[in-house]
């Protein structure tokens, strides 16, 4: 059971890769609606999704089910917050993060560390991106690396700097590769 947090450029690409790979179950969690401005970088969505103002989680579930009907896909329209993060991630084998703010990422980090659930952090802005594989009790976690939340406005965001679609595909592809290695028990594989 893989939980994908965020159905933006990273989340939709990763979700598609997980479904095409045939994971048993996939949960996509996102609070936002599909907007026309999303379509240039969120390839899972179509113009009709934006025209209907569908929640991203609902549109993602619909498209992903058509890609591989053997994967149990569930879209959850929710804002990940302190009151629901543990419930949303409960039973996950792996969490793939593509949320768009550090507060949520720290909540996901803490919940995964407590539950000893591996998770893969990913982020993109402008033309660069990064990822971090977190294996509780084995590797450092996000809070180990960052120690504290960056100050508001200290880092560029997609809203302030934009994002080039290809970098999201690169980072999500790397996240998916790391995810598949973890799911297959091949963490050390190249």
CB 74 within 8 A of CB 25: yes
Sequence-distant (≥ 6) Cβ neighbours of residue 101 within 8 angstroms: none
* Annotated catalytic residue 112: no
Numbers of helices and strands, H then E, in the chain: 8, 6
Give me the catalytic one of 112, 124, 144, 158: 158
Q: Which two tokens stand for residue 27?
A: 């949960």
CB 33 within 8 A of CB 53: yes
Sequence-distant (≥ 6) Cβ neighbours of residue 154 within 8 angstroms: none
Torsion of CA 160, 79, 27, 42, to 10 degrees: -20
Q: Which residues are catalytic?
A: 158
């Amino acid at each position: 059971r893989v939980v994908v947090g965020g159905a933006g450029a990273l989340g939709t690409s990763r979700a598609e890769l997980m479904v095409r790979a045939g994971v048993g179950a996939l949960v996509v969690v996102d609070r936002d609606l599909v907007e026309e401005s999303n379509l240039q970088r969120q390839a899972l969505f179509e113009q009709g999704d934006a025209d209907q103002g569908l929640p991203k989680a609902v549109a993602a579930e619909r498209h992903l089910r058509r890609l591989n009907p053997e994967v149990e896909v569930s879209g959850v329209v929710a804002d990940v917050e302190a009151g629901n993060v543990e419930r949303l991630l409960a039973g996950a084998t792996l969490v793939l993060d593509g949320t768009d703010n550090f507060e949520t990422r720290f909540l996901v980090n803490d919940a995964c560390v407590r539950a000893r659930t591996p998770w893969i952090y990913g982020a993109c802005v402008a033309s660069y991106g990064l990822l971090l594989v977190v294996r509780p009790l084995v590797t450092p976690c996000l809070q180990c690396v960052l120690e504290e939340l960056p100050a508001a406005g200290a880092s560029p965001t997609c809203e302030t700097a934009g994002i080039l679609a290809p970098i999201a595909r690169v980072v999500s592809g790397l996240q998916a590769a790391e995810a598949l290695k973890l799911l297959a028990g091949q963490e050390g594989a190249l």
